[in-house]
Amino acid sequence: MSVICLSGGVGGSRFANGLQSLLPSGDLRVIVNTGDDFQLHGLYICPDIDSVLYSLAAVSDAERGWGRANETWQCLDVLSDLGQPDWFRLGDKDLAIHIVRTNQLRLGMSLKEVIDNFCVRLGVPTSIIPMTEDAVMTFLHTDSGLMDFQEFFVKRRCQPTVQGVFYKNIENADLHVKAFEAMQDSSLEAIFIAPSNPFLSIDPILSLPGMRELLSKRRVPCVAISPLVGGRAVKGPLGEMLDSLKGSRLPNVFVEHYSGLIDGLILDESDVEYASSIKIPTHFCSTLMRDQEAKTGLALSSMQFASRLHV
């Protein structure tokens, strides 16, 4: 059997961890957004892939929500002394991943091969699949002008109001062949859209040529987990983005946004008041993933919910 999870960073990586803890080794495939990937100091950085990698390897920092546990910032301090940009907080441990990836990509390895090696080395039994090997870059139209994801998210701390999002070069990018194969796998049992930001993390994956069609022709249930709890994002700018882009934070926004692509929606139990207004099968449970038990619990609820759905 196999299970697919479409994922961004923090929330998606925690949900993927929960799924991995439940599934037999090797059965999970996580297709990860690469629209936030960028280069800094000549290093090739993949924030969402690394969040998933660290979460699945159980080396994430639980409090910060990004990067590695027991991290230090000695290199960053010197980069700053040298007049280099220090707004993106590269930890000393985290740096090793970027250095090795940059070197191996330059030597001709694919991003998937690089990540596979990391998974072997860090004991991760899951296939982490970059959505594409091609360069795609998320840009945002905001009330402070056009900016790339890192400038919006890290440098400007999500302050500008987002008026639109686009994924540069997406029309020329190919869905990763491993993602295509995973979607076609005859042993596939369920597809999950992790509780990640739809505009910044999930839509880049769905916007790759052919991906929406693949998902709309699915023969197994697809379940989205809402990233909102009581109308608020656990982390990040989703609430404000829903206000400006959709004019609503109500759960039906996700139903409409993923229309034709999902068979069920999981909402936090605090949103149970909206139950009657939602037009597709819905399951309510705690969607906060503060600890391992909560991650596994949400994954289990999601698996059980999916198994009850009909495509």
Residues that bind a second copy in the complex, under the rule CB under 8 A: 41-43, 71-72, 74-79, 81-84, 91-93, 95-97, 99-100, 102-103, 106-107, 117-118, 121-122
Report the C-alpha dihedral over residues 48, 271, 298, 208, rounded to 10 degrees. Answer: -40
Q: Which is nearer to a second copy, 86 or 185 (CB)?
A: 86
Least distance from C-beta 285 to a second copy, angstroms? 36
Q: Which is nearer to a second copy, 29 or 101 (CB)?
A: 101
- Which strand (E) or helix (H) includes residue 177? helix 177-184
Q: Which two tokens stand for residue 9?
A: 């960073």
Q: Which is nearer to a second copy, 66 or 118 (CB)?
A: 118
Q: Which is nearer to a second copy, 103 or 159 (CB)?
A: 103
How many residues are recorded in the chain? 311
| C-alpha to C-alpha distance for 104 and 106, rounded to whole angstroms | 5
Least distance from C-beta 105 to a second copy, angstroms? 9
Least distance from C-beta 70 to a second copy, angstroms? 8
Q: Which residue has the tokens 């008041």?
A: 273
Q: Which is nearer to a second copy, 102 or 296 (CB)?
A: 102
Least distance from C-beta 100 to a second copy, angstroms? 5
DSSP letters of 101-147? HHHHHHTT--HHHHHHHHHHHHT--SEEEES-SS--EEEEEETTEEE
Least distance from C-beta 196 to a second copy, angstroms? 26
Least distance from C-beta 89 to a second copy, angstroms? 14
- Which strand (E) or helix (H) includes residue 40? strand 38-40
| C-alpha to C-alpha distance for 258 and 260, rounded to whole angstroms | 6
Q: Which is nearer to a second copy, 84 or 277 (CB)?
A: 84
In terms of Cα–Cα distance, which of 48, 18, 76 is closest to 205? 48
